[in-house]
């Protein structure tokens, strides 16, 4: 594909992948040629004029795969239009929680000063206590299940984004 858009995601338990898929659907509805790949599988950016990245926040940081992607592909990302979304809030979903996640995201992205996204957004995330494993289980022992993804907001963001890519 020439002049198409790559949506690259990093996701531990799958909720960010589902948001990335919804973004792809909306961008295609807007007439764009779009591919989707997990960040770790992206080998080449040839033919892509824009890259939309999506990753969740974990323990105040972007998921490691996303940080690795940003560092590894600096040159290709500088040469293209980029956008970034992150999943975070899973508790009250109030303005304060979104603001805190947004601050975490801004701080993370500030580590890549060469990156100038045309759009950056935070979406509500998902907690599924049955899926959480390993060390994370210790931190999330008492946390109830939640899904704060607002699909209308996700589609609306992606629709606006289509005009910028
Ligand atoms: C152990 C753990 C730590 C988390 N830490 C943060 C955090 O520091 N900031 C935040 O905004 N969201 C945090 N979250 C919420 C995740 O970003 C959210 O669950 C997201 O939907 C996970 O995406 P995934 O299913 O693609 O892995 C955390 C979730 C878990 C399970």
**Computed from CA positions of residues 79, 110, 67, 123, in that sequence, does the dihedral angle turn out positive or negative?**
negative
Q: Would you say residue 2 has pLDDT above 70?
A: no
Pick the CATH number of 4-162 from 3.30.70.20, 3.40.109.10, 3.40.50.360, 3.30.1960.10: 3.40.50.360
Pocket test of ligand 1: the residue of 8, 14, 38, 58 to mutate, having most ligand atoms within 8 Å of its CB, is 58
Q: Would you say residue 120 has pLDDT above 90?
A: yes
User: Does the pTM exceed 0.85?
Assistant: yes
Annotated domain spans of the chain: 4-162
- CB-based contact 58:108 (threshold 8 Å): no
Ligand 1 binding pocket includes 56 (Cβ within 6 Å): yes
Specify the DSSP class assigned to residue 145. P
Ligand 1 binding pocket includes 88 (Cβ within 6 Å): yes
Exposure string of 39-77, with b = 16+ CB inside 10 Å and e = fewer, is beebeebeebbbbbbbbbbbeebbbebbbebbeebeebb
Quick: pLDDT tens for 8-58.
999 999 999 999 999 999 999 999 999 999 999 999 999 999 999 999 999
**Ligand 1 centroid distance, CA of 66 (Å):** 14
Helix (H, G, I), strand (E, B) or coil at 59: coil
Q: Cα 15 to chain center, whole Å?
A: 10
> Over the chain, what is the mean pLDDT?
95
Select from 118, 98, 125 the least CA-distant residue to 158.
118
């Amino acid at each position: 594909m020439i002049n198409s858009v790559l949506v690259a995601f990093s996701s531990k338990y799958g909720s960010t992948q589902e948001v990335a898929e919804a973004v792809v659907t909306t961008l295609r509805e807007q007439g764009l040629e779009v591919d989707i790949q997990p960040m770790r599988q992206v080998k080449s950016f040839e033919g892509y004029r824009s890259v939309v990245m999506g990753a969740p926040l974990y323990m105040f940081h972007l998921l490691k795969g996303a940080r690795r992607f940003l560092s590894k592909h600096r040159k290709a990302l500088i040469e293209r239009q980029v956008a970034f979304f992150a999943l975070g809030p899973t508790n009250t979903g109030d303005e304060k929680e979104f603001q805190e996640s947004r601050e975490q995201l801004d701080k993370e992205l500030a580590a890549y000063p060469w990156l100038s996204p045309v759009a950056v957004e935070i979406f509500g995330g998902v907690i599924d206590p049955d899926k959480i494993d390993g060390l994370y289980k210790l931190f999330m022992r008492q946390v109830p299940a939640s899904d704060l993804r607002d699909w209308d907001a996700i589609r609306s963001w992606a629709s606006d984004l289509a005009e910028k890519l």
